[in-house]
Amino acid sequence: MVMESSKTRRRSLIGTFAERAIRLIESRIGEKRVSSAEPPSSDTERYRHLRITRITNETPNAKSFYVEELDRSELSFRAGQYLTVEVYLDGRVHRRAYSLMSPALPGAARAFTVERVPGGKVSNHLLDFYEEGMLIRARGPSGDFTVERAEERLGNAAVEEIRFFAYGNGVTPIVSLVETLLETSTHLLSLYHHVPHGEPRLFGNRIEALLKAHPDRFRDQRIESADADSIHHLIDTLWSLESSAKPLVYICGPRSFRERVSLALEEVGVRRSRVFEERFDSPPTLNLVELPEEPQRITIRFGETVRHVEVPRGKTILDAGLDGGAPLPHRCMIGDCGSCAVRVQSGEAWSRSDGPLSQRERERGMILACMSHPLSKMEIEIP
Ligand code: FES
């Protein structure tokens, strides 16, 4: 998964080279990086530092960053999960989620993939300035786009086949799932992949190699067009050929693509419980102009305990609350998992995204603390 804003890049060249030099020197010292390019907050405990061991070109616009823990141990993750990477640019923290593309198999080097985004701040910064040997701040791995989540949801229901629908670089977590499952399961796996016109296919060679190695268990079909009619036709055809098996379905791509696939699946009678989606949407860019200049005071209630924190302009309620010692639950920090939901009792906030919150939850005053900034004095409650 990649979440990237389209805000125009504004860093000065001097700042760029200075930060780069600091990062090179400090990261090569080997221990935890502390620099003027890093936010002076207590949240370092919420993140891990990973060392970049190798960078490979996947396409002219995409690179994979291989990483390991500082003690050189293997990063532990489930196929389909992502890392929340944090960089400090233009005086504030930016976070983006990047799916791990490696198989979750012992001994397989761990890597996440970054694709260049026109005007994108964080992805382009990673692609242009991060090098082998540097350290990177990351949270996670997180995410429920996994087979383990399907097992939790479906219990012992028999699964013989898994069908994956991917749009463009949405194939990143899917290639991790496919490669892992080909080694660890007996499922029949099918990939339906739309590559936008004129773009190279990400992991094309790897998919070819998997097809050759597992001709009986892995099928791959390019989707020429991802418009609603083509998707409906494809799914109608696939499901009309179906035997008694009820496949699981994984979808990864932008919202419009996911909605088309989901709708077509619904029309052929596939139950929602058998469908798993990974969101590939970018929340709106934070517009500081819309936020009050002055820090806003927030009262956070959890049970009988109350904590008061000041939230400076540009900081999220989650960051300010955690810095102030409030035990706000959280996982992804990028509006994806929903674990930081809090109830607003008074005051107003501006939220960049409501992520997985339902309309009913929103109507009951729930907001995502990691995506929200106060517009006034507020009182919130941890449910
Ligand atoms: S921490 Fe995951 S949505 Fe806020």
Whether 6 has a pLDDT exceeding 50, the answer reads no
pLDDT for 163 equals: 96
Task: Give the pLDDT of residue 35.
Answer: 27
**What is the CA(318)–ligand 1 centre distance, in A?**
9
pLDDT at 332: 81
pLDDT of residue 165: 97
Which DSSP symbol is given to 311? E
Average pLDDT over every residue of 352-364: 89
Ligand 1 center from residue 334 Cα (angstroms)? 6
CA pseudo-torsion sign 158, 1, 178, 225:
positive
User: With 50 as the cut, is the pLDDT of residue 81 above it?
Assistant: yes
Residues 80-92 have a mean pLDDT of 87
pLDDT at 242: 61
- Classified by CATH at the fold level, domain 288-381 comes out as Ubiquitin-like (UB roll) (3.10.20)
- pLDDT for 153 equals 82
Helices 171-184 and 204-213 pack at an angle, to 10 degrees, of 20
Mutate to test the pocket of ligand 1, among 86, 322, 337 (most ligand atoms within 8 A of CB): 337
pLDDT for 29 equals 29
Relative to beta strand 275-279, strand 248-253 is parallel
pLDDT of residue 288: 63
Residue 5: per-residue pLDDT: 36
335 pLDDT above the threshold of 50: yes
Burial (0-12, 13-18, 19+ Cβ within 10 Å), 56: exposed
Q: What is the pLDDT of residue 281?
A: 64
330 Cβ below 6 A of ligand 1: yes
- Of the candidates 262, 263, 95, 250, the one whose C-alpha atom is nearest the C-alpha of residue 176 is 250
Evaluate if pTM is beyond 0.85: no
Calculate mean pLDDT across residues 281-286.
64
> Which of 316, 339, 372, when mutated, tests ligand 1's pocket best, judged by the most ligand atoms within 8 Å of its CB?
339
Does residue 70 have a pLDDT over 70? yes
Asked whether 336 lines ligand 1 (CB < 6 A), one says yes
Task: Say yes or no: CB of residue 143 within 6 Å of ligand 1.
Answer: no
Could you identify the atom of ligand 1 that is nearest to the CA of residue 142?
2
Other residues' Cβ atoms within 10 Å of the Cβ of residue 281: 15
pLDDT of 10 higher than 50: no
pLDDT at 285: 65
The answer to whether 180 and 214 are in contact (CB under 8 A) is no
Give tens-digit pLDDT for 146-194.
999 888 888 767 778 999 999 999 999 999 999 999 999 999 999 999 9
Phi-psi region of 253 (alpha: psi -120 to 50; beta: other; left: phi over 0): left
User: Do residues 337 and 356 make contact, with C-beta atoms less than 8 angstroms apart?
Assistant: yes
Q: Do 122 and 89 contact (CB within 8 A), yes or no? A: yes
* 13-142: in CATH 2.40.30.10: yes
Dihedral sign, CA of 130, 68, 113, 272?
A: negative
Q: What is the structure's pLDDT at 38?
A: 36
Architecture of domain 147-279: 3-Layer(aba) Sandwich (3.40)
- The string of DSSP codes covering 75-113 is PP--TT-EEEEEEEETTEEEEEEEEB-S-S-TTPPEEEE
Q: By percentage, how much of the chain surpasses pLDDT 70?
A: 84
Domain coordinates in residue numbering, the chain: 13-142, 147-279, 288-381
Task: Work out the average pLDDT over 353-366.
Answer: 90
Question: Where does the pLDDT of residue 280 fall: very low under 50, low under 70, confident under 90, or very high at 90 and above?
Answer: low
pLDDT digits (tens, 9 = 90+) for 98-145: 999 999 999 999 999 999 987 778 899 999 999 999 999 998 898 889
Please give the distance, rounded to the nearest whole angstrom, from the Cα atom of residue 341 to the centre of ligand 1.
Answer: 7
Confidence grade of residue 90 (pLDDT, cut at 50, 70, 90): confident
Tell me, using a 6 A CB cutoff, whether residue 317 lines ligand 1. no
Beta-strand relationship, 341-346 and 366-368: antiparallel
Q: How far is the CA of 371 from the centre of ligand 1 (A)?
A: 8
